[in-house]
Structures are given as C-alpha cells and as structure tokens.
Amino acid sequence: MQIINNPKRSDWSEILKRPTQTVDDIEAKVIKIFNEVNLNGDEAIKKYTLQFDGIDLKSNEVTTNEIDFAIAHVSDELKNAIKAAKQNIEVFHEAQKTTKVSVETAKGVICWQEKRPIEKIGLYIPGGTAPLFSTVLMLAIPAQIAGCKEIVLCSPPNKQGAIAPEILYAAQLCGVTKIFKVGGIQAIASLTFGTDTIPKVYKIFGPGNQFVTVAKQLATKYGVAIDMPAGPSELLVVADEKANASYIASDLLSQAEHGTDSQVILVSTSHHLIKEVSEQVEKQLQVLPRKAIAEKSISNSKLIYIENDALSLQLINEYGPEHFIICTENEDFYINGVANAGSVFIGDYTPESAGDYASGTNHTLPTNGFSKAYSGVNLDSFLKSMTFQKISKEGLKNIGKTIELMAEAEGLQAHKNAVSIRLKDLK
C-alpha cells in the first residue's frame, strides 16, 4: 500500500481517485449489448451468456427442481446462519415503516402522503468469483416487507449452467418470484426491455462491476429506475494511535478481496499506526485464499497520514466512502461530522463485514463518491411516496384567490379558469 504523508489539499482529488475506468471507456460496449437485447431479446441473451459465461443454456429460467436441488445442497449450519441474518435484516427494515402523514394546510384543505410499493423490481446478484447470496437478503427482504408484487432475480450461471445453491436458497427464503440465469450487461438490458422469458421491471437493484454500473445508468434512459450507481467496493478507515493495527488490517483486506478494482484507504494521525497496519496487511495477505485479488486491490490503495482530526474529516467527506470505519478515541467528532458515507461502523468491535452479513443494516451502498448525494438501499427504496388532497367548498374559497393570482401571473389562464368556474358556482 502506498504511504502518503500530509498531502496538500490541492493534491487530494488526485490522491483520492478511484481505480476505475471512465464511463467513456466502457459505454460503447454497454450500448451495443443493450441494442442487441432490445432487438433480439432471448436470442441476444443466449449469445452473450455463451460469450461471457462460457455456457450454452437451453433455458434461462431456474426451475423448481433446481431450487429444490439447491436447498438440499446447502448445509443446515449455513441455512441457520442465513436465517439468523434474515431475522436481523427484517427487524431493522421493518422498523423503517412510516405511517400516513396527514395535515390540514388551510381550513378545508386536507393533504396527505402515503407510501405504495413499486410493483415490479429486478434484483441483480453478482456471481463470478464470489456468489453474493448475502445481497439476495439485502434486496429481497425489504422488497418483501414493502409489498412488491414481482421480484425478479438475475444472476450469472457458472460453467455448469447453474446458479450457486446459496443464492437460490436465499431467493426462495425471501420471496423472490422468478429467477434467471443471466449476468452482466445483458441481465440489466433484459430487465430494462423485457424478453419473451424475462419480465421488464420498473426499478433495478444490485451491485456489480463497472460494466453493470454503466448498464444500470443506461437503463434510466429507457424509463427504468435504479437504486444507485453501485460499482466496485471501497472502504475508508480513520484511526488514531490507540487503534488495533491487526483489526484495521483485517478490515482493509476484507474489502480488498472483493475484486481487483476495489479500493481501501486508511487515514490516520499516527505515523506509528500506519507502519503497523502496513506490516499487518502484508502478514495477513499471505494466508488469504483470494490473495491474488486482494493484492491487486491493495496496490490501488493508500495509507494517508494527516496531522489532525479536523483535516482528516475534511478529506473523508471529500472522498465520500461507501464504508467508513471509525477507530478513534474521539469517535463522536467523526460520528457528528461525517457528511458523506454510505454506512458507518464505530469502534474496535464493529467490523465492516458485520454490516455485509448480519447486523441488520443494508450493504447495498453508493460507491465512487455517490454517497455525497445517494443513500444506501433501505425500505423506502422499494416504495413510492404518493400525495393526496381533498378540498371542501370552504377550502376552495380559502385558497382560490391565491391560485387565481399565481396562475394569472404565470400566464396560465386555463389554470385560473379551473378555479374561477368553481368559485363562481359557490357564490
């Protein structure tokens, strides 16, 4: 990991660059595949599944027999762990329910807001080197709580033409209605346009590589909403001289092993801690099964010395990390001061992996600095807020003149007339 000492503020943007390609680098490929899927549907899906996943599938849809087979091949121990995580995630997301908001804004004018589920949603679950069955829980559970009618899941098949048993087990446990063996850009395109077998949805959720991220952004051009531009994973840790170097190193490596384009950063006011963490990272890296992936990610990562907490906080907010761990004595300073982060983890015994799996918070979070404007996935992500109003005769008399004056000032005579015709009858 690169060690950087007291960087100038003018250098922060360069230092904090993510190791990702620009949209321009990959957009052409995404557009090409989108156009083919839009034109040729399942035929294009079949073509790209063979090209990218190396398998020629007769059917994309997962059958009940395949789900039954998967359930039988997940150990009871893991099933119990998944159920325990499911319960915590349910508890946290159930608590996010809100009641109807109703108010009389003026005498005789009643306005209220209610939330309704998005009817059709698509979940993208990465497969690849680490099938993320935990992401099924994070997306399908709040979708089910929200009351979404159709929950369609896409995940890439392995070389045997199957989806990981753990993904299928979690999907059936959490109420997914349809599952398809399709990944990458073509999965997002199929959910965007629909094919003869894969339904079109109203909103797409789920993380993925840079190609999936750009594909989701392109989907919005065709009237499909997305949760956020969630790309390669990232973590920033802030720590002082009292922090445990081995714990910090383990947290950094836990994100580094996600993928070669992941990024992890340590910000510290202690030279000694930075040295210790650097040594611990090298030591712990050697025994990781995914060493090659983590090693590449670590090469993109930084250990940054900043001379005081105030400057550290400014740098952290400039970066806007997906995951933010606070391991300092004055943790309240960072808790109260952080403005841009997807999810925050506080103290020596709150590893980021707790949020990834079982504490209850959602792990689908904004990356690449999008935490400055986006929230992580939550119950409201699967709901729409609808407003209602009912105005009595008295109410229209109370606000009618206001409406007439404003409409006339904007030159919208028909708007004014819609009120005037009613007021005339009420005289």
pLDDT, one tens digit per residue, over 56-88 is: 999 999 999 999 999 999 999 999 999 999 999
Q: From CA 116, how far away is CA 29, in angstroms rounded?
A: 36
Antiparallel, parallel or unpaired: β 178-181 and 150-155:
parallel
Give the CATH number of domain 2-19+232-360. Answer: 3.40.50.1980
Q: From CA 378, how far away is CA 376, in angstroms rounded?
A: 6
> Residue 175 — left, alpha, or beta (φ > 0 → left; ψ -120 to 50 → alpha)?
left
- pLDDT, one tens digit per residue, over 124-156 is 998 866 788 999 999 999 999 999 999 999 999
- Measure the CA angle with vertex 248, ends 242 and 252; round to 5°: 155
* Residue 355 identity (one-letter amino acid): G
Catalytic residue among 36, 234, 322, 352: 322
Report which of 216, 206, 210 is spatially closest to residue 136, judged by C-alpha positions.
206
- CA-CA distances (angstroms) from residue 289 to 1, 81, 253, 285? 19, 22, 12, 9
For the record, the structure tokens of 301 come out as 């990562």
**Mean pLDDT split into 10-residue runs, the chain, 427 residues:** 93 88 80 98 97 94 96 97 98 97 98 98 86 95 98 95 96 97 97 98 92 94 92 92 97 91 94 97 94 89 96 98 97 98 98 97 94 96 98 98 98 98 96
23-229: CATH topology: Rossmann fold (3.40.50)
Same fold, 2-19+232-360 and 23-229: yes
Any idea how long the chain is?
427
Domain boundaries, given as residue ranges, for the chain: 2-19+232-360, 23-229, 394-426
> Residue 257 — left, alpha, or beta (φ > 0 → left; ψ -120 to 50 → alpha)?
alpha
Report which of 124, 368, 335, 347 is spatially closest to residue 261, judged by C-alpha positions.
368
Global confidence as pTM = 0.93
3-state secondary structure of 283: helix
> Residue 20 — left, alpha, or beta (φ > 0 → left; ψ -120 to 50 → alpha)?
beta
Report which of 25, 23, 45 is spatially closest to residue 34, judged by C-alpha positions.
45
- Annotation marks residue 323 as catalytic: yes
3-state secondary structure of 323: strand
- Annotation marks residue 94 as catalytic: no
- CA-CA distances (angstroms) from residue 130 to 133, 163, 251, 285? 9, 12, 18, 18
Catalytic residue among 93, 323, 352, 363: 323
Q: From CA 87, how far away is CA 81, in angstroms rounded?
A: 10
